[in-house]
A and B are shown apart, each in its own frame.
Chain A
Amino acid sequence: MFDPYILQQLAIGVSLGMIYALMAIGFTLIFGVLNVVNFAHGEVYTIGAFAGLMAITAFAPPLLVVLFIALAAGAFAGFGLERLAFRPFRRFSDEASLKSRAMREATLMSSLAMSIIAREAMELIFGSQFQSIDLAYLINKPIEIGPITIVNGDLIILAITLIMLGGLQWLLKKSPIGMSIRAVSNNALGAKYCGINTDRTIIFTFIIGSGMGALAGILVGLYYGAIFPAMGFTPGIKAFVAMVMGGLSSIPGAVVSAMILGLAESISTSFMPSVWSDMVAYAFLLATLIFFPQGLFGARRERV
């Protein structure tokens, strides 16, 4: 049979992969409708973690309520982010501006600016160290399954991610707003002439994507017991890699790539020092860009 250690690493890898997937979906959805990368996505994740933490210290609600508060905070942050960093660059609707890459890509800078402001603001308010978290909320209670030990957080992350993924699929395939998101991703102008309010669709996309990112933030915070203002940076990069590997605007592609990343990273720790595990993601990014510029699953996959 397998070495129990490897099995244990696999369990951690699944949790990591799920977290990356939750974050990568936000990136992918937003890339789909706007064709730009949202550099502030990592900070939305951090905001989710801090919102949950503040709820815990303020009135110690049940875990589900904490998660819901993080989700709501993320959704709100996404709404604000779209208003401040993205919408101002869409107000010029003449043809020259619509075709201009500079106009579109200006939001790379504005979202980066928002991310720096948000991170610095959180450092100013909370300090840059790890925050102390009520131990009762940590989701690292060991559970023995045969020879391996996982923690309850692995199960919670698995369950919540599956619910979110299922919900997202339903949303995109069945709900009016999901249909609008797919239509705008496919062809924004065509969608507009079908009577779709593209601005509203874009806001909803930010709300949904950021809510999921923020949920990932609080889950990781409670899983590792580590909540600090710069916590969003590394997962942000991992999720970005997953999005690129998945082909930029394919949600199934991003989820599968995120799982591959999570598993590869956790297994790599069995044969190299764990401080090097971040290298795995960068190696995947380089390999994807060199050998699969269309993403691992090519452009044939259904977008969004």
Chain B
Amino acid sequence: METESEQGLIQLLSPEGQRVTQGEYASSLNGDDVFKMYRDMVISRRIDSEATALQRQGELALWASLLGQEGAQVGAGWALRPNDFVFPSYREHAVAWCRGIPPSGMLRLFRAVSSGGWDPYEFNYSVPAIVLGSQVLHAVGYAMGIQRDGREDATMVFFGDGASSEGDTLEAFVWAASFNAPVVFFCQNNQFGISTPVTTQSRSPLYLRGPGFGFPGHRVDGNDPLAVYEVTKEALARARAGDGPTLIEAYTYRMGAHTTSDDPSRYRMGADVEKWRLRDPIERMKALLSREYGVTVDRFEEVREEAETVATELRSEILAMQATNPMEMFDHVYAHEHPRIDEGRRDLIELGLGKATS
């Protein structure tokens, strides 16, 4: 099992924070960049823990924790350019942070005060896709639009090992290959589709699916942000240059539950979690920073304090958020009026759950 999981793994930073060269990539980031990446991961993790606490306190309906996947998400987020368009699933909070989306925006959907949380066109970052794999098709469609506009941009779509089993995802692969669409498929293999191990869903490593559909596939250590950055940057450059899609399998581990409604101790062994704890993406960056760049305890402490401030502000913003009129959910289904939507509006008013807006 272990040998299969290591197969093809690209790595630039070992779990102990030592530089390695596994695969044909070299790190292009300087010490400042590495420190900023570290900061993005620490703050993302703190946003995530505050959101989890808010859910447990009844302030959010649900939360999908990213704990353990900060390296994959920040590495990928850093590789994007402002003009690239991103299609996330529901767990990409660290990518959203890298795109400049305010943390309170990330939580709006989960507090049920918005069906999105931000303006997708302001950040070139779509709203979270809850329906597994649906966003993969959207990303390919958008990429084909970029092609037709003659722009040199790319799209990147995030999905998990669970969504890799969806028909939508595989159809999107076919379309992307057929049209040579400028899209990067970024699959975070966090080992579980809710409770189903990836080894049950896929008998061969996921990254090998790329060549099966006719485009390159890479497996990168998802807890190594330096490697994720280089692999993703190259894949995006390929897409922008018109060389077509790439599949990236970021091999990582979901340290927390699938969502706050889930109990992972029912389907996985504590020993595995402990094994992955030693591969933590933040700890390995911290080790590199202190060893190679002489970053002091004070600077790490500054980052921690900054993360605390972000969490405190996030909490007060969330507690201040007012419930919106549920009728708003009908406003963005179709561009024009639609009889079925009108019917839905009437039903909700009759049930006493909404009131007429105009």
A binds B: no
Interface residues of A (CB under 8 A from B): none
Interface residues of B (CB under 8 A from A): none
